[in-house]
Amino acid sequence: MPRGERTPDWVNRVITVVFIELRERIASHRWPTAGEVRQELARPVLDEETGERVPRLEFDQIPSLRHIQNYLTPLRERLKDDRPSPSEMELPWSLGLHNAGVPDEATGTVLEVWRWTIMNPTARPLSVRTARWVSKLRWVREAGGNPLGEAVNLEKLYNWALFYSGREWRVETVNDRKGMRSGALDAKLMLSPNVEGLARRIGLLEDDKGIDHNVEFTAIDPGYGKALLNALQLHNALQTGTSPAMVEETRERINELSDIWKEFESSQGSEFWWMYKDEVWALYNMAHKKIFTDPRVLGNPSITSYQMFVVLKELTLSLFEPYHTEQMESWEPDLEQLIQKHLLIND
């Protein structure tokens, strides 16, 4: 923009929009610099009416770097961040939690999902991070919501929110400057597998290489394994009318497994655990799922809860040494041997 001319208000509004958009794309959610904003102003964007890419501003409309710097200084103050810190994001969500970042109008839906996680033993506690994604996805039919922002399918809404929050956590962990690049997740949510595959092949979906969005158990914490075992065994107990003593024995087995997982954190320290727990649980849960979805195991009435417990315990212990020696990439448990040894399966 020529020196001395007043910058129009509509141009300042474009600067504001770009400033906020850039902030959302940056994994750490730091404030973008004036230089980054000015560079973004010159980049073309998709015109929804014509389908063509056009510049946000013409070259002679782009303000000077000094103007952008001066404009952003008070803007940062007006847009003071209410986003929780990374540690606060992993706290269990509650209605009175300060700085949770969930809008008031989403309270009812988030509380419904919170109640579902409390009552469903296979669900991890609703974290602040996941609650924020529930708030965003509650408008989407495909994610279990509806255009009124209501939860139509609580389990579906929770799982999609967990999927997105896991991706966000993963991006922050690897400090990916390109941000979530959530187009890959958006495509999984909104497109059929075949349509998504074609869109990816012909380049209509954004590049998200380096971020694993296919791991089914993204962002699972130690409570998941404990809760899943609880669900499996207490389900058996209820189905067979097992005595209270047997239920108590089940709880003792759960505690035994929980103690093993505590050893993971203490053996390498909390910092190492928080850095790699996502990967550890992805490895464990995928192996776990492979065993219990085996056609010979799934729905087999002759398999007892104790047999399940023994398999989970041995599977967990087999991962400890690779974790402790930082050689998790080499872990390859003999799942067939576990099935044959403990579940008494004969082909």
Distances (CA, A) of 286 to 30, 80, 94, 265, 279: 34, 41, 30, 20, 11
> How large a percentage of the chain has pLDDT more than 70?
71
228 with 337, same domain: the answer is: yes
pTM higher than 0.85: no
Q: Is the pLDDT of residue 90 over 60?
A: yes
Domains held by the chain: number: 3
Q: Give pLDDT tens digits for 102-122.
A: 888 889 999 999 988 877 655
241 with 326, same domain: the answer is: yes
233 with 329, same domain: the answer is: yes
Asked whether residue 269 is domain-assigned, the answer is yes
Q: What is the pLDDT of residue 171?
A: 65
Q: Give pLDDT tens digits for 143-201.
A: 999 988 999 999 889 988 888 887 777 666 555 555 566 677 787 788 777 777 787 77
Q: Which amino acid is at 336?
A: E
231 with 307, same domain: the answer is: yes
3-state secondary structure of 297: coil
Least confident of 79-88, 124-133, 206-215: 206-215
Asked whether residue 214 is domain-assigned, the answer is no
338 with 227, same domain: the answer is: yes
3-state secondary structure of 45: strand
E strand or H helix at 46: strand 44-46
Full domain range(s) for residue 20: 9-78
Q: Is the pLDDT of residue 212 over 50?
A: no
Asked whether residue 61 is domain-assigned, the answer is yes
